[in-house]
Chains A and B, each alone.
Chain A
Amino acid sequence: MWDLCTNALDTARLRGAAYGDVRVMHLRQRDLTTKNGQVGTLSQSESIGLGIRVLANGAWGFSSTDRLTREGVAACAAQAVSIAKASALAKRGEVVLAPEQSYIDSWQSPFCKDPFEIPLETQLALLLAADAEMRRVKGVTLTETGMQFRKIDSWFASSIGSRIHQRKLISGCGIAATSFQGEEIQKRSYPNSFGGQHALQGYELVQSLDLLKNAPIVAEEAAALHSASQCPEKIGTLILGASQLGLQIHESIGHPIELDRVLGEEANFAGTSFLTLDQLNKLKYGSSIVNVVADARLDHGQGLGTFAYDDEGVPAQCTDIIKNGQFCGYLSNRETAHLVGLNRSSGTMRTESWNRLPIIRMTNVSLLPGTWDYDDLIADTHDGILMETNRSWSIDDRRYQFQFSTEIGWEIKGGKKVRMLKNPSYSGITTEFWNSCDAISKLSHWTLWGTPNCGKGQPMQTMGTGHGASPSRFRDVRIGTAFANQ
């Protein structure tokens, strides 16, 4: 693979590129699903190819190919330079890259059991057994289960001399029960919606989930939701379960801190950000107990945003985003770092595949644990609503105003969960919401959730991101808006 990389970089240099970086990537994926006791999807795929990004005439060009011959790679590199020169027809400044060292390294994400080595029969048997457990519950009309495994090898080389090989193993697994009754469809998922939990782990992730124990629980909840009371519309106290809070972090912190959005580079598609450059180190983003980091290092956990180097050849880092409630950091790359006074990229350039340009992406953007025991947090809540497991999510294109609904809610009265609520939802303005946070559960309740489906960029790229969170409480939140007119 290194020969291909060298060939591409040499061609680019000879054609006039001042800088180049190249990624050869080999992606392998296995997908298994069941529905109503039958196997649904059963497929595996592999894709290998090369993408090269170059700077020529002060502008960027990128080209990719799956024709991994000497001629195919050279043609691809030459095309990247030609595209860069075309870009220069509409440039308004010079690209300046923050300095970075070169690295020669090889890294592999840790795992205990390679899911590609586990017999398919074993994997399918587990899914079908969980599916059967859910179908046993009266009122359940649709059962779904799934596993997804990915093995990604990438060989990164740049014209400053880096040669980095990384191998990542990603696993995902989840189940869901749906119940249609009367004029209502209710659904419960475990351990999360979006196909469950996803992490930079091996098959041990699947084994840790105890699907068979949880299958009847979610199935019974899906059926029971039909007779639950409607979530009221009010301003009140909200407790978010950890996975829902993970998505809240993703949408209302993770995206606004992407510096490409802040600088208008996503204005046509993903949107911009309310976090304009003048807000850095000035904005009170949250209450004083809110501490958020963007941490791609293995020390933070085996999340979907964990790696050793980003796709621009910058080592994984931990960046403070919110410290004691104060906004203090963006996600940057080598091109944008200097705009926020940094002399180095924060290492967040990531690409979906060999045929996509690396762009600024969330890594693991996590709310650090607080001090509360979860039971104490519930006991301390006189009147509130606990919401768990995302059902819908939406936020404006500058990331101010959001609305989420969850699969299930629980009324809290006098420090106890007293009854189930259906169709829960809440909404708010990002900074008002985070400033209303008055309790965060401690580390023992903290989970690094995986969001596998974050879309951004044109052409669209889907990326996995990590979000550590523990159940937390928010005061004076607008509740129940989504269903107010129904």
Chain B
Amino acid sequence: MSEPVNLLNIAWALTTLLEGILLILIIRRRLSCSHPAFSLYIVAAILQSSAVAGSSWYWGQHTIQYFNVVWGSQALVVCARWTAVTEITRKILAGYSGIWRMARQILFFLGVIILVYSIAASTNRWEMVVLNADRAVELCIAGFIVGMLLFAKYYRLEMGNLERQLAIGFCLYSCSRVINVSIVQSWREAIRQWWDFFGVLSYFATLAIWMDGVRKTVAIRAPETPPVLSRDTYRELAQQLNTRLDALNRRLNHLFRSRSEDPRS
């Protein structure tokens, strides 16, 4: 069993290193201003890695203190992940007020349904409560992201490359966690170390996707104050919009009339 343990430690160290590099990239590209929740999530993940490594060294891995540190920090990191996912969703959808209002309601209900299903379908053994909760939340995050991306696809909404890659990374990681927890629950100790290693590897892949997205992002300028329109300019723009809507209406009316003047009648 020492092989996977060593591999796991190496992979763990590498992911922490990658997290550090990603954080530096985020700061250099000034994404901490435009994506504060995502930046905080990376900071939380780095702190979690340090806390878990420290408690493992201090108390050992088979102690209640270690368990508390691992799952306590995991709860905080999951909250940070939810916030980051919400931030991405807002960036993609919030520019379209009608779609955003509707999507918010549908995605909320979708999340609740997945959460309820996931809890209902889980085993009732009390020692699995933490793992079940973790899986339910991860499945909920994955479903929420897929739902949001389907909305964007259906309405052909423009999406930045960074937002797309962040969403893909979060979704793939959550999916891998769901599979990981499900398999660990079924076979437990026999293959646990290998599946832990698989979990770290999937996080490694996620970090690579995010780094690629952040690396390709051009430096974002500090947000400019929106230009203030004078009343005359506003009136002129509104008039232009009305003219276009009126033209569209007339064309649609024409289209409708062409149907009612069907030669069948």
The reply to whether chain A is a binding partner of chain B is: no
Binding site for A on B (CB under 8 A): none
Binding site for B on A (CB under 8 A): none
